[in-house]
A and B are shown apart, each in its own frame.
Chain A
Amino acid sequence: MAAGVLTGVRQVLRGPRLVSAVFSCHGQTFSSAAAAVKSPAAATDTAATEKILNFPLTQPDYFRLSELFTMKDLFEARVHLGHKKGCRHRLMGPYLFGSRLDIDIIDLEQTAEHLQRALNFTAHVAYRGGIILLVSRRRQFGHLIETTAQECGEYAHTRYWKGGLLTNASIQYSPGVRLPDLIVFFSTLNNVFQQHVGIRDAAKINIPTVGIVDSNCNPSLITYPVPGNDDTPVAMEMYCRLFKMTINRAKDKRRQMELLKGISASV
């Protein structure tokens, strides 16, 4: 009873959220009740929509994102270069290949695997019309990230993070605002080398995060960490390009599926 009330309250706080098999466990009861009430024509419509939403989840690499990058590309973009040994975070140990001349080298095999997972997740979120927020507090790349967000039709926040942006949203913005469904951190540290407040807040609000973690960052609260370099312009440009391409691909695919559904429905 208490649990029911609590989840009810939380859903009200979060506002309208996408009902999807990925996020909540209440989806099934809702959709079946709705389907039972609707007419046969609407029922086929709902079935088609469900197919559009559920079919991609059955494939491991539905958007073929493995062809977007290779390990050689990562190497050439200097993604493997971490910080000095003294700056190393103890939790980043497993992701490091080793250290050379006191500089930590990030294991690119693990990076490739993590990046693939992160891009796949981003693609699925974009496919289902989720709001993606690109965050970074590095002033060097703020403009680049904002431009990337503009080009793929998503949102960016590369400025001073005000305290209650996620946790106090109904007062910071207006009541009924929809919060981001995914937050991508291009650098998990803020300008004083502490963990970005957004990571902790997203974890509190149950918003999944993707984060590029360098060797001095804490990967624990991030849902899909991607160990990699976040200081070099080449590496950042590569990440921005990759994320932009995944999001655009996913959105194009969705548009294509909707068109096909429209054609099949009219037929």
Chain B
Amino acid sequence: MFLVWCILLLNNQAKNSYEAILHDISGQASKEIQCDQNFCLFATPTRFYFMDRPPFRRANKLGLPVRQIYVSSSLWKKNLAAAGPQKFTQEFIDKQVEEFEVGKRHLANMMEEDPETFTQEDIDRSIAYLFPSGLFEKRARPFMKHPEEIFPKQTAIQWDAKGRPFHFLFYTGKQSYYSLLHDVYEKILAIERHQDKMRNKGLFTSDTKQILLTGSRWLLKEEIEENLVENISDQDYMRLIQLMEKLLSMPYCSLEKEFILKFRKQLEVQSSKYEIPALQYDPQGVAFSVADGRRKTAKASITLRDSGSGNITINGRNYLHYFPVLQNRVQLMFPLLFVGMMGRFDIEGSVEGSGHSAQAGALRLAISRALLSFVSEGEVEKMRQAGLLTADPRIRERKKP
């Protein structure tokens, strides 16, 4: 009897796996599958019947035969990976935005600040204060940001209630990109018409105001994809740039200046270019300048006063007392010695952090920077070449086993 039961079970299991595969093909999560024609195409009647008995066929209310399918619970679990990126409805996002605004006001009240002028920096500061976190990974710490920065931008449903798409180029597949090409071509035609009008009036000139393109570059493909919320291929991108170049090649392209500049990105000015501190005058008419300098962990701030007699005060003490070591005092003197203005200035400085040598280095950099406002262009270049204006990048290396 047990053997019979085992065989029955095995047969059942085989049936289950076969129908589980069928189940997967049809993709429906239902226990009963109507045996209509489509399905019967897959379900071939070659089945091993135990004891030559066909499976019991039940009928549903339509009179069609119905087969009971048994599937394992693992099939009920949704294949999350196949679903694609998570989609959010517009109402969900709106609700999140509302909650964010309300939460922002609560936070402002908690921190006893004005809810109207509560900026994102204030939010970050407050969250860091209320929820201090020692986690090293900054992205793992608690944050409160506007939902637009958290949820990725998605394209909304593209058609109205009757099914008519909103955009007239919807059926091309890349509506934003082709619409952009359409607009650019429209502008080219407009400029050509303008040219013809000028020619008719006899006012046509080739040397019209040109658009300045130095210091900027065309937007990259990724940046354009971000703007259009659409994927474009490399050829599409090349085509767009070609069209823009054509627009630029026309004499009267300055008419569409703002449009073209939307597609140009200003290249960053060379960063870490130090601006010469402005020369200030105190009530007595004496010129002075203020500058900062850093070395290792030492931070120094210097005030260089003109028409002095070479006194140097650091942290309220004379430099001789503050720097007993000769090497450090030489570091302080070097910038003045180099430009040859040794006895001219009065130096008042404050420094903190690190050790004596680093503090001296920080002060030296600060003095050099302060000197820039008293010195000519050529001298500035000489100072740069002497290495007086370069911040020493060396820092303490970490301990390794």
Binding site for B on A (CB under 8 A): 1-2, 5, 9, 15-16, 129, 131, 133, 143, 146, 149-150, 153-157, 159, 162, 165, 172-174, 177-178, 180
- 9-residue interface stretch from B22-30, B42-50, B167-175, B359-367: B167-175
B162 within 8 A of A: yes
A-B contact pairs, 13 of them (CB 8 A): A1-B37, A16-B163, A131-B164, A143-B189, A150-B168, A155-B170, A156-B169, A157-B172, A165-B173, A172-B173, A173-B158, A173-B170, A180-B171
Contact A159 B178 (CB under 8 A): yes
Q: Which of A159, A177, A180 contacts B159 (CB 8 A)?
A: A177
Q: Is the CB of B173 within 8 A of A173?
A: yes
Chain B at the A interface: SS class? mixed
Cβ < 8 Å to A, chain B residues 136-172: 157-159, 162-165, 168-172
Q: Are B182 and A143 in contact (CB under 8 A)?
A: yes
Which residues of B sit under 8 angstroms from A177, Cβ to Cβ? 159, 163, 165
| A120-B169 Cα distance, complex, nearest whole Å | 25
Tell me which residues across on chain A come within 8 A of B173, comparing CB atoms. 162, 165, 172-173
C-alpha spacing A15/B174, complex, angstroms:
22
Q: Kindly state the separation between the CA atoms of A154 and B168 in the bound complex, as whole angstroms.
A: 6
B168 touches A178 (CB 8 A): no
Known: A5-B36, A159-B172. 9 other contacts (CB 8 A): A5-B38, A129-B164, A143-B185, A153-B168, A155-B165, A155-B168, A155-B171, A177-B163, A178-B162
Most chain B CB neighbours (cut-off 10 Å) among A149, A155, A174: A155
Expressed in whole angstroms, the Cα–Cα distance for A82 and B343 within the complex equals: 97
Least CB distance, A146 to chain B, in whole angstroms: 5
Q: Does B186 contact A (CB under 8 A)?
A: yes
Known: A1-B37, A143-B185, A146-B182. A178 touches B159 (CB 8 A): yes
Task: Report the Cα distance A192→B166, complex, angstroms.
Answer: 32
Main secondary structure of the interface of A (DSSP, over half): loop
A149 to B182, CA, bound (A): 12
* B38 cross-chain contacts in A, Cβ below 8 A: 5, 9
Q: Would you give the shortest CB distance from A4 to chain B, in whole angstroms?
A: 10
Which A residues lie within 8 Å of B36 (CB)? 5
Residues on B with C-beta less than 8 A from A143 are 182, 185-186, 189
Among all A-B residue pairs, the 3 with the closest Cβ atoms: A178-B163, A159-B172, A157-B171
- The reply to whether A165 and B186 form a contact with Cβ atoms under 8 Å apart is no
Of all chain B residues, which has the CB nearest A130?
Answer: B164
- Considering only CB atoms, which chain A residue lies closest to B162 in the complex? A129
* A178 & B171 in contact (Cβ 8 Å cutoff): no
Residues of A within 8 A of B172 (CB): 157, 159
* B163 cross-chain contacts in A, Cβ below 8 A: 15-16, 131, 177-178
CB distance from B368 to the nearest CB of A (A): 61
Q: How far is the CA of A174 from the CA of B172 in the complex (A)?
A: 13
In the complex, the chain B residue whose C-beta lies closest to that of A153 is: B168
Residue of B nearest to A150 (CB): B168
Query: Across the interface, do B164 and A178 meet the contact criterion of CB distance under 8 Å?
Result: yes
